[in-house]
Amino acid sequence: MSKVKILWSGITGRTGKEALKLSEESDLVEIVAGICRSDNNFYNYNQLDNISEDFDVIVDFSHKDSFNKVLAFALKVKKPLIIGTAGLTDEQIKSFEDASKIIPIFRGGNFRFDVKSFIDNVVEYAKTCKDDNIELVETHYKTKKVPSETAKVIAKRVLNETGKNVEIKSFLEYDELINDWKVSNLHCRVVGFKELARDVLNIAIMMKNKKPNDVYDLDRLFKEKNLEDLCTFLIEAKKQTYANEKVKKILSTRRGSYDYEYSNGIMTYHDTYFGGTNFMGEEVVYLSNETPIWGMNYYGITLDESLSEETIDKALRPALMKVGEDDIIPVRGPKEFVNSEYKYTFEVSGTIDYFDGVESIYKNNQKVYVLKCHGGAIKR
């Protein structure tokens, strides 16, 4: 995989310096050029049109006075923009929200992966906590602007997902670059800018191929990454179970059922069905801790009673082995597949989170089989 090439605005800032050092040792990213106010080793904000280096993503950790030029340049070159600049005005926020319809834009109150886990844990705590008001205590280095963007994100998510209020208590105590948040017995501390820079570089990798579709944040990136991983796993699993005639069934888990199972160590896929020419079944994907996260129900019927189960299998399995080879979600086979005298089609609407579909097989243009399915994400 080729390196993701980055243009970094604010390259002489604390985060930019750490990112530059990390990129010099990385096999995944490369900072090909930098922008700052007054260092002759880099471009300044009046030289943006002179930038000759090829780049994939723009990262902006500069100053609000330079932001408008950076945003205008990103729009001009049609490149994804990651915004880490603090103190933007309402007008500037509106401008990048409008721009997110044209170019991919990331801007979140949090860039830290470990902080994201803390935020998720606080939201879960708020869901079960009996108190209507949650106290968040944050303590930072003495020049930090408070309340922090992270605290604001926590308060917003808790309110949106639980209806509860978060009372933010902010303190500036540390001489060192320390950020600290506490809610009840939950605690998160981050120190220095090296880890921040590493996480921003990882976000740049994730943003490279995104499409313009409103403003991205870390929660959204993680959700989309999880869905991408699920789709990849489903393709692997389906090619290693019923669709693959060389794979054997596992022991029946329910009376009268036929079962297949596949695991990659992170997720496990289980398919159980009943019947033959007329059949019904269910597929479920579990995380390694046995938590179900996705499922699908299906019912299929052979319309031509002269065709045996084995005949339908020979027509169906080759089509299902083509799963993931076109642009539809990988829950059955492709849109269309022709195999000798049989033609397979699959029409599906929705997303991997929530979908329904119809699968058909035709013999000499006569429909001989149909299956209906529906499914999506499993949540508690």
| Angle made by CA atoms 365, 368, 371, in degrees to the nearest 5 | 120
Provide long-range contacts, Cβ within 8 A and 24+ apart, for 38-44. Answer: 39/11, 39/12, 42/11, 42/12
Structure tokens belonging to residue 38:
């007054």
Residue recorded with tokens 């796993």:
233
AA identity, residue 324: G
- Residue 127 burial (C-beta neighbours within 10 Å; 0-12, 13-18, 19+): exposed
Query: Contact 70/9 with Cβ under 8 angstroms?
Result: yes
Closest of 119, 148, 136 to residue 184, by C-alpha: 136
What distance in Å separates the CA atoms of residue 182 and residue 111, rounded to the nearest whole number? 18
DSSP state, 132?
S
How far apart are the C-alpha atoms of 49 and 223, rounded to whole Å? 35
Q: Which residues contact 70 (CB under 8 A, 6 or more apart)?
A: 9, 35, 45, 48, 58, 60, 62, 81
Which one is catalytic: 140, 238, 270, 343?
140
- The closest of 80, 325, 110, 354 to 227, measured between CA atoms, is 354
Q: Given 5, 116, 144, 343, which residue is catalytic?
A: 144
Annotation marks residue 144 as catalytic: yes
DSSP 251-294: --SSTT-EEEEEE-SSEEEEEEEEESSEEEEEEEEEETTS-EEE
**Catalytic: 363?**
no
Give the chain's radius of gyration (CA, Å).
Answer: 26
**Catalytic positions, written as ranges:** 140, 144
